[in-house]
Structure 1
Amino acid sequence: MNIDEKDFFRQVTLRICGSLEIEKALWQCLLYIRDFLPAGQMSLHIYHRDVGVVETVANATFEGFRAMSLKSQLSDETRRNIEKQGLIRVRIIPRLGDDPVCSPVAEKFNALDLPAVVSDLVLERKLLGVLAIFGNGRIPFTEAHLKLIGIINEPFAMALTNSLRYRELQKLRDLLADDNRYLQDELRRMVGEDVIGADSGLKPVMDLVRQVAPLDSPVLLLGETGSGKEVIANAIHKTSFRRQAPFIKVNCGAIPPTLMDSELFGHEKGAFTGALSQKRGRIERAHTGTLFLDEIGELSLDAQVRLLRVLQEKEIERVGGSGPIAVDIRIIAATHRNLETMLNTGAFREDLYFRLRVFPIFIPPLRSRMMDLPALVQHFIQKKAREMKRSPAPELAFGALERLTAYHWPGNVRELENAVERALILSRGEPLIFDDIAPKTDKLPGNPAFPLSAPVPENLDLNAMTSHHIRRILDMCKGRVEGEKGAARHLNLHPSTLRKRMRKLGIPFGRKTAGRQSPAG
């Protein structure tokens, strides 16, 4: 068959350059060249010389095409052979399974017994990758076929180069999108994460936050799981001089030990198998901002050593990197574990502990600040109703607040949030009951169960609900504000703070209650 080589070159070039999607362009070429070559399928492969990996990026058959990222690790011997033999433009491989370079890839395509024509794609004397044309299993390849494929080698090399550049642009786009997600998370925190109880149950905590926030000193947040450590960490960041910079969270307990170094410090291309591109770690992302290390007690001893260096030297080194990278970060750590006990057992480094424990803040559990519960309930009802697109938000049923107050909340604020969400799902537009939280007779040591005979009136706003709660505690305490049996003790508030809140809400106390209640403390 006489072939017009110039027209063949032009037609293939038009098709390979006709789409930004390299896999689609490859398929269009296959449909054209099958009239000239015994081709069954085609594939494009990138050779990552520095890591010895062949990556299949596109495959086309008569049925269709697909983009992929299929990586095949070459042995050291095969890599040496590639370097030794140099660049070979086009060659016939009678059986792919017999070729040490092609067999790892051919095996993944079930093509070990097929012949192929392989063309090294070279630009400026640099091996970029390989174009593989698999035989159809019926007609063998000939020298004439080799000549035709040699004609189209350069267009495919240029197409692969453009594809690589396009991939880099996509990586940059993904990197920007990734940074944008972090910034969006930060923005959501800044506009929608108020500290409920900042003027009551968490007032001592917030006083400490205001003292330490303007400084760069490390902060260690201590408290039970779900008590609100991340909210406090965010409050510190929001009121610091770093508030315009990133707030990056690392859940130390959720990252496998094998990935911890890569996640914290990042890695260079080729640092390990599969590291085909450079990656910035969480610490590097937090540069000029705040790094929040949640569940710091879950860090391995090896990771603790490397974190200590960050605190001491203010620099990191990526996995596989050749030099240090300076970082300017403020560290806030948090844990529910007893780090002093871990020191005694050797599970936590003493030098790291004292570096982190410059300014410890203890966040009390929810059961110790029940004064905040009505406000928290109302906050979560409004928040979850918005998320579920429920308008108006449901009200509390009679006795619901008392039931919630009588429960001991081992999961703290997080458990309360989940309970509100569950109640909203089950409510079907009815008032929220919470009858699965605790029996009506449930008691907490030191916090007697409150009688359900005094239901919460309907349609109360937050201040009215808080007022109702305080009045009920006062009734239980026979009007006494302070002392061992006073309302302030039950509400975990300083008596003067409780009186201030009562005055604001118009709740009488002291002489104003004479003749109606026992004298207040």
Structure 2
Amino acid sequence: MDDMTFFHQATMKICGSLDDNRMIRECSLFLKQFLPLSSMMLCTYEGDKGAIRILSLTDNLPKESRDQALFLSPESLTFLETHTDTGRVYLHGQQENNPIVCELEYFLKLSRCSEIVLSLKLDGELLGAVLLFSNSSDEFNAEHARLAALLHDPFAVALANVLKHRELMRLKDLLADDNQYLRRELHHISGDEIVGARFGLRDVMEIVWQVAPMDANVMLTGETGVGKEVIANAIHYASARRNGPFIKVNCGAFTESLLDSELFGHEKGAFTGAMQGKRGRFERAHKGTLFLDEVGELAPAAQVRLLRVLQDGCFERVGGSTPISVDVRIITATHRNLAQMVKDGQFRQDLWFRLNVFPIHIPALRERKSDIPELVHHFINRKLKTYNLSKHPVIALGTMEQLTAYEWPGNVRELENMVERALIRHLSQEEWQPLQFSDLVGELPEDNATRQDSGNTSEHLTLDEAIKQHIFSVMKNTGGRIQGKDGAAAILNIHPSTLRSRMDKLGIPYGRNKYQDRNNFRFNCLFETDNVP
């Protein structure tokens, strides 16, 4: 075999795999046809440590030496600095002048044998060496050394690729560990406790614990803002997929043309602006859970593609033709009546059957008002961390009754927003002053009876009437008390004398006995506006 054919075939063996153990094994089998080769070893030089690390070796060398570092003596380090010419080959007869070979023989516990040492350099940097061993001390000759020298460049490139690949795998493992840690932290920050699980959501959580260990698709229904995403999060982290990704998609946040790309990804050049390929949410959710929020907003074309994924477990990227298989659990959420949408032809019936395997309805906040006090304290504690505050403010007297009386059309999300507004306003007040909600929104009623009695008149109140109604609300909550820490003046953040003066001007009586007959006072005080000066 001529040198060119030898070089070509050897290069295919050397550079044919990033698995260094496989490369050494196949290369050894090939070279045995031309050299009296018994074993082979690939090493890398770690200059910062002054050591040689054994990356891979053939099976007839000690396996425990793999990935072990040999720290070189000062004599060997000096030899490296002066005898590392590119492609230089050292034969057994010269090993007395090569202390590194002697140290390697001792480290590997080898008896006296022949060696060919090929030092590997790339772009002027010493990467390591390839060592070829024979069983006797005089088998290798100059022709063998010449053939080995022909393979310097393929071995150097292969070693560089192996090192880069190992570093890439190390970084990939680090990234996976970091992602796992961040997922746990985000789960902890977002709250691993379901507020209301012992009261208003107790029945829901019992169902969640039943279905979470299964891989069944779950559909969460309920009004906007009831916490469907929180329940989906709980299902994922209580399942066997808890260590996998939890990917969220709001189906109503993307146009029909973009939703396909978001869900299934796209290939480079699939459409204008697709400068590179992109993985979709399904690919990112592999071995985990995909949460499709507002699934009722899916366009008909996206419904068809989603149905195929649920049936076959595979899909193609936009602009691609290669099927991609995924293992994903689907949790969907909607505030719409999908059953009615199916009847109206707006949602595919077969897709609805696939998604609605295990439905869970989450009640609105007005249906579980017993959770409001716990939710208020939960949101206060969360916002205190957000605003870097340490002291939990005292809640004004009567606040919980007022919040419980409200219907909360925006559900838990509206309550959270109101708590945040109250805390922001409280930052400008003294610490001892109570946290109050009564003056945040005009639609907060005293109770449901007030809403029915007043009708829509609150929309047409004058400024004096609005102030009059608000003062009355505070006076009612304090039981007619004006002074003191829990009095109306402290809640309204004005001087007691100023409050009395304002009440006199608006025709609002003060005195605790005036607030006992609440219905009669509400009629006389709030809605007989002729007495207002």
Q: Give per-residue Cα distances to partners, 1:317-351, cap 9 Å, x unaligned.
A: 11111211110011000000011111121111100
CA distance in 1, matches of 2:240, 2:383: 32
Gaps of at least 5 residues in structure 1 are 1-168, 460-521
The answer to whether the 8 Å contact 1:214/1:240 transfers is: yes
- Displacement of 1:177 in angstroms is 8.4
8 Å CA contact 2:223, 2:335 repeated in 1: yes
- 1:174-194 CA deviation, whole Å, 9 max, x = no partner? 9x9899779735631245342
Q: Find the residue that maps to 1:220 and give its secondary structure.
A: strand
Change (3 A) 1:454 1:215: farther
- For residue 253 of structure 2, give the secondary structure of its aligned residue in structure 1: coil
Matched residue, 1:287: 286
Q: Deviation string for 1:246-275 (max 9, x for gaps)?
A: 110001111121100110000111211221
Amino acid at match of 1:214: P
Alignment deviations for residues 46-71 of structure 1 (CA, whole Å, 9 cap, x no partner): xxxxxxxxxxxxxxxxxxxxxxxxxx
Alpha-carbon distance in 2 for matches of 1:220, 1:444? 36
SS class of match (1:332): strand
What residue is the counterpart of 1:474 in the other structure?
none
Helix, strand or coil at the partner of 1:323: coil
Distance 1:221 1:255, change over 3 A: same
- Whether 1:221 and 2:220 are equivalent positions in the alignment is yes
- Aligned equivalent of 1:452: 477
Matches within 5 A, 1:413-492: 413-428=412-427, 429=431, 430-435=433-438, 436-437=440-441, 438-443=443-448, 452=477
State the partner residue of 2:470: none
What's the counterpart of residue 188 of structure 1? Answer: 186
| Rounded Cα–Cα distance in structure 1 between residues aligned with 2:435 and 2:366 | 21
Q: Deviations over 1:368-396 (max 9, x none)?
A: 11111100000000001110111213221
Match of 1:515 in 2: none
**Alpha-carbon distance in structure 1 between the residues aligned to 2:269 and 2:184:** 32
1:357 aligns with 2:356: yes
Change (3 A) 1:186 1:325: farther
Paired residue for 2:303?
Answer: 304
Per-residue CA distance 1:447-473 (angstroms, 9 max, x = gap): 99x973579x999xxxxxxxxxxxxxx
Distance 1:231 1:445, change over 3 A: farther
CA distance in 2, matches of 1:247, 1:187: 13
Q: Distance in 1 between matches of 2:395 and 2:346?
A: 46
Post-superposition Cα deviations, 1:272-327, rounded to whole Å, max 9, x if no partner, equal 12211111101110000000000000110110111111110111211111211110
Distance of 2:485 and 2:312 partners within structure 1 = 59
- Kept after mapping to 2: 8 A contact 1:406/1:444: no
- Tell me, in whole angstroms, the C-alpha distance in 1 between the residues paired with 2:485 and 2:187: 31
**Alignment partner, residue 234 of structure 1:** 233
- The answer to whether 1:400 aligns with 2:405 is no
Distance 2:404 2:310 in 1: 42
Gap change, CA 1:272 and 1:412, over 3 Å in 2: same
- 1:252 equivalent in alignment to 2:257: no
Distance 1:442 1:177 in 2: 54
SS in 2 for 1:253: helix
Aligned partners of 1:183 and 1:246 also within 8 Å: no
1:324 corresponding residue in structure 2: 323
Change in Cα spacing, 1:190 to 1:286, as seen in structure 2 (3 Å) is farther
Give the conservation status (yes or no) of the 8 Å contact 1:382–1:393.
Answer: yes
CA distance in 2, matches of 1:341, 1:445: 35
- Equivalent pair of 1:440/1:452 in contact (CA under 8 Å): no
Residue identity in the other structure for 1:434? F
Separation of aligned partners in 1, 2:434 and 2:252: 38
Greater gyration radius: 2
- Give the paired residue count: 290
Quick one: percent identity of the two aligned structures? Answer: 56
Contact 1:219 1:360 (8 Å CA) reproduced: yes
Letter in 1 for 2:447: D
> In 2, distance between residues paired with 1:250 and 1:399?
40
Alignment of 1:18-37 (within 5 A): none
Query: What is the rounded CA distance, in whole Å, between the counterparts of 1:440 and 1:446 in structure 2?
Result: 6
Query: How far apart in 2 are the matches of 1:380 and 1:182?
Result: 26
Closer, same or farther: CA 361–217 of 1 in aligned 2, 3 Å? same
One-letter amino acid of the structure 2 residue matched with residue 252 of structure 1: C
Q: Relative to structure 1, is the Cα distance of residues 458 and 185 closer, same or farther in structure 2, using a 3 angstrom cutoff?
A: farther
Structure 2 gap segments, 5+ residues each: 1-166, 454-472, 487-533
C-alpha distance in 2, partners of 1:424/1:221?
Answer: 31
Structure 1 counterpart SS, 2:339:
helix
Return the offset for 1:216.
Answer: 0.3
The corresponding residue for 2:389 is: 390
TM-aligned CA deviation for residue 445 of structure 1: 10
What is the distance in 1 between the residues matched to 2:413 and 2:449? 19
CA positional deviation for 1:446: 12
Kept after mapping to 1: 8 A contact 2:373/2:400: yes
* Aligned AA (2:186): R
Structure with the higher helix share, 1 or 2: 2
User: What SS class does the counterpart of residue 359 from structure 2 fall into?
Assistant: strand
Query: 1:179 and 1:322 mapped to 2: Cα distance?
Result: 33
Q: Structure 2: how far apart are the matches of 1:366 and 1:179?
A: 38
Alpha-carbon contact 2:445-2:451 (below 8 Å) kept: no
The answer to whether the 8 Å contact 2:397/2:478 transfers is no
CA RMSD of aligned residues (A): 3.4
Report SS of the residue matched to 2:247.
strand
AA at the equivalent of 1:443: N
TM-score after normalising by structure 2: 0.50
Residue 267 of structure 1 aligns to a residue in which SS? coil
